[in-house]
A = this chain, B = another copy of it.
C-alpha cells in the first residue's frame, strides 16, 4: 500500500533525492567508489558541498555578505553556539514553545536573557504580537515555525537589533528576506534533507564581538574560514541536501513550492473547520504551513485518539500522532509531501466522520 508520510521530522523527502542518494552510496558518479568511502577532500565531494551551498544561496536569495555553513550536531547545538558567539551582555528571546525555551535555556549560561514575548499563557497556540524589542540586546531570537504547536510567523519581522532565527521546520517553505536576519539556522531534517547536518546562514560582521574564548569547533569563524571543512563534514547528509535542493529548483524554487504549500495547508485547514469531528487548537492568523495539529471537536472529545489513528493507518497514513503537549493529531506537510497525500488525509477524515466515528 502507498504510504502517506506525515512525520514531523525526519520526514518525507523527494523520491528523486532518495533514489539518487541510494545510487551514490553504491557508486558516486561512476568512479567505482561509494559516496561514503571517499575522502571529503576529493574533488568529487567538494563538488557536492559547493553545489549544495550554491543552490541554497540561489533558492533562498541569500545575499553575498552572508556565509553558508554545513555543520554537525543538530539545531540543538546551535542553541549554545549562538550565545557562545553573539551574547556579550543581554539577549532577548520570544518564547513560542518547547524549542524556543530550549534555546533560551542555553543562552542563560552565557549572559542575561530577557523573555521579550511569550505565548505560554495559552499553551503556545499563537505567535505573540505587539511587543517592543529592547534596543540594548545583543540579539533577539525567534523560532519561525513551532513544530509541536503548529504556529508560524507569517512574515519576516522588523527588529531593531540583530535578529536570530531558528528556521528548522519552515526553511525554504516560503520566500524569506534574509537581509532582515543576522543569523538563521536549522536542522536539515525537514525541508532540506536527512538528519545529521545543520545549516547556518550568518552575516559575517556580527562575529568576533564577544570577549570569551570560544572552542574552535563552536566558533562560526572556524567554519567560515575552512568552508565547513575544518573537520570531516557529514558527507552523506550533505549529499542528500544537495539532491533535495536540486529537486526544489527543478519544480520552480521557493515561490512555486510556497504556492503548493499554501494550497495543501488550505485544503487541510478547511477540512478541519468543516469536519464535525475535528478542530484546530491554533489561532487562525498564526497557523503553520508545515505542521498542522488538530484535535477532536467538542462533540467527539471523549473518543479514543486511537480510533482515528488506526483508521488512518489502515489507509496508509503514518506519522499522524499528535505531540503529547497538544494531544490529538498532527499532519506535517513539508515541501516534499505531495498534494495527493493531503487529499488522501482529507478523504480519510471525511470517511471517519461519515462511517467510523460514533459521536
A-B contact pairs, 23 of them (CB 8 A): A3-B32, A7-B37, A11-B39, A13-B34, A18-B25, A18-B26, A21-B25, A36-B193, A37-B194, A40-B195, A71-B73, A72-B72, A72-B73, A73-B77, A73-B217, A76-B230, A76-B231, A80-B218, A84-B215, A106-B215, A106-B217, A187-B231, A195-B232
A234 → chain B closest CB, angstroms: 3
Q: In this complex, what residue of B is CB-closest to A332?
A: B39
Asked whether A199 is an interface residue with its Cβ less than 8 Å from the other chain, the reply is: no
Q: When chains A and B are docked, how far (Å) is the Cα of A37 from the Cα of B13?
A: 6
A7 engages B195 (CB within 8 Å): no
Contacts beyond the supplied A3-B31, A9-B39: 6 A-B pairs with Cβ under 8 Å? A10-B40, A22-B26, A77-B231, A80-B218, A187-B232, A234-B237
**Chain B, Cβ-Cβ closest to A198:** B72
Give the residues from 143 to 182 in chain A that come closer than 8 angstroms, CB to CB, to chain B. none
B residues near A109, Cβ cutoff 8 Å: 213, 215
How far, in whole Å, are A3 and B236 apart by their CA atoms in the complex?
A: 21
Q: For the complex, count residues of A whose C-beta is within 8 A of B.
A: 64
State the main secondary structure of chain A at its contact with B.
Answer: loop
Q: Binary interface profile of A, 1-15, with partner B (CB < 8 Å = 1, else 0)?
A: 111010111111100
Query: Is A234 touching B33 in the complex (CB atoms < 8 A)?
Result: no
A279 CB to closest chain B CB, in angstroms? 25
In the assembled complex, the CB of A59 is this many whole angstroms from the nearest CB of chain B, namely 20
CB neighbours (8 Å) of A126 from chain B are: none
The answer to whether B196 touches A236 (Cβ under 8 A) is: yes
Q: Decide if A259 is an interface residue (CB 8 Å cutoff).
A: no
Known: A18-B37, A194-B236, A236-B236. A216 touches B72 (CB 8 A): no
Contacts of A356 in B (CB 8 A): none
User: From residue 192 to 243 of chain A, which have CB atoms closer than 8 A to chain B?
Assistant: 193-197, 213, 215-218, 230-237, 240
Residues on B with C-beta less than 8 A from A3 are 31-33
User: 10 closest A-B pairs (Cβ-Cβ)?
Assistant: A196-B234, A80-B215, A36-B194, A76-B231, A72-B72, A22-B25, A73-B73, A72-B73, A74-B231, A195-B235
**Choice from B13, B194, B216 contacting A79 with Cβ under 8 Å:** B216
Bound state CA distance, A72 and B2, in angstroms?
Answer: 33
In the assembled complex, the Cα of A187 lies from the Cα of B231 at a distance in Å of: 10
